[in-house]
Structure 1
């Protein structure tokens, strides 16, 4: 056994037993490497990061733990013909579950003699999206011939911040918690999810050139807000109006590595998220709404807020609970979209003879009936967006980019 699952990891793992939930990150590089070079590099990063080889098993008391599968999953290296869109491969990855008793990570490489697109797929129990960028960085180092030494098994985030097993509670508190779990099971029985079998995803990408990205950042700063809040508010206006909503709620993940002092080299789940409602969808109040959103994000971007969230999870999720409690908990968030903004990536633009041409992600799905996932990352000055939606839902990524372009050109909007 590597270690028991932490509470956030167990939330994600239990949820996925009913509604498969994993995510992808992608990187395009220019270098002359063979398919075997990529296979060797992927094995190297699996050797470096123990959770990339991990499977989850339960003991007789139904307590879940990570176990080492000894070997990772072999990467799929596919020829990258002119007819193949890499977005379609991300789509296929999101439509394909991670098999039982299989490692919670897989890799696909679209290969040309001097160029490749690498797509990594992670179960959310072993990683957040920033961990995905860490693993991509290590893959580049391995492809360049640099050493990628093995790391120890990372602790669960709850233990690292000083929160272990839930304390013993009085009978009346126990009854209250049991009632809350029953309420979550009732939510899990509602028609909030679509069936995974036969589920089809649509994935689309877009980018904002470096000069306009810089203009957008400068405008956000001058308005005392952030690009993240600008994107979220613009999405709420575009998607909320299109869907006839008066309020649009966006689930916002935050990375806690710096705030909590987590090791920046580990592949592990080091993020948590909170739903933020955006109720003012008027363009004439745009910047005011952005500033309010920034203030709300800042309120939970700290260790104390994460500790409070973790304690709440510890009270609700028992080690022997059925997955319906986890499903009800995430279903109760009532979010219309997820915006996962990884900020400015610190990946170098060149490692040895390898030139990195672009980074995208994350893309994910929680199998909700009505959901939209927008992944954002800025790399080389270019802001890239990746949208994943159920195939029956209408895309808004082009309208969102148009709205962001307009922000850089309309002084008073």
Structure 2
């Protein structure tokens, strides 16, 4: 508990079981006014329907809902795509990217209404508690932070349901809802249930957006993506803003079972966890960016971009969005992306996305040099001197061993 008197708390509210219980718990244990904040980042309409009324019935004095979908994709997702960040080689950071914008808007509201504290519903086992509180620390270090899961004695779904029932607070959560899902416009994740045993195969209940690969169309679909400075700006020659691009590609990709991963990842806190993640639009965009990078980036630049992507994946995953290292990595990626312009034709078929045609005005690929036929621009004898110099240290080392 915090020793200093707290009068007003802004809670990052989702309307789910945890945050529904947090509102009355805060009032009972801290005797505070609770203001609920909801960030609309593209979760299902079912989750958002009646959410203000639900928060008020749970005991909140007011509920603010902010639509941040467009800002989320434009200012958080698209910049990170330029870096090539993939956590542990496959995760497009769907949940991790959403937390800093939620925290930022929550802080802005707290400062506007004169709140003393911030509260989130992340558990003490997960990454989100770190992501929220790293953002709070960077944006509003003077505000107190309350993390109920690290304080209360309600440590199971059963206890939370009983707690709400005793206070006559309704919830749509039940004991039968065994999966934990996190959804935004960029991705949806599924954890818990049978996935807690890594030997269990995922089933249809573990996937929400994408069809089973076996049920995807028998005929491949070809789509065109146009890129400008590392960002998709048009689909099939139709210019769209970042949000509309993602929405359209999510729809197309889901139909073809694109963007599924079933992984066991290393959480920052040290626990391994398993999840089924779906990022159909993101997977398609990533394939398009990589296709143009192959044409444009020289060997050293590509290796540097790979290093940027690896480091950025850790920075975002660990909740260090509002930090100098994130800004520095982003600046480096933006510099490399200035020449990532062109068009890509992608083939979508039963879970796979393949670049089949690519063009860039900045390409370094030259058919005259690459041809296996006769050419007039490359002297193969020039390779002799290059190889002798490149292998010099190896030859010296071998001679030393013979002495």
TM-score range for the pair, normalised by the shorter chain length: under 0.3
TM-score with structure 2 setting the length: 0.23
More strand by share: 1
Of structures 1 and 2, the one scoring higher in RCO (CA 8 A, sep 6+) is 1
Between structure 1 and structure 2, the one with the greater Rg is 2
More helix by share: 2
TM-score with structure 1 setting the length: 0.22
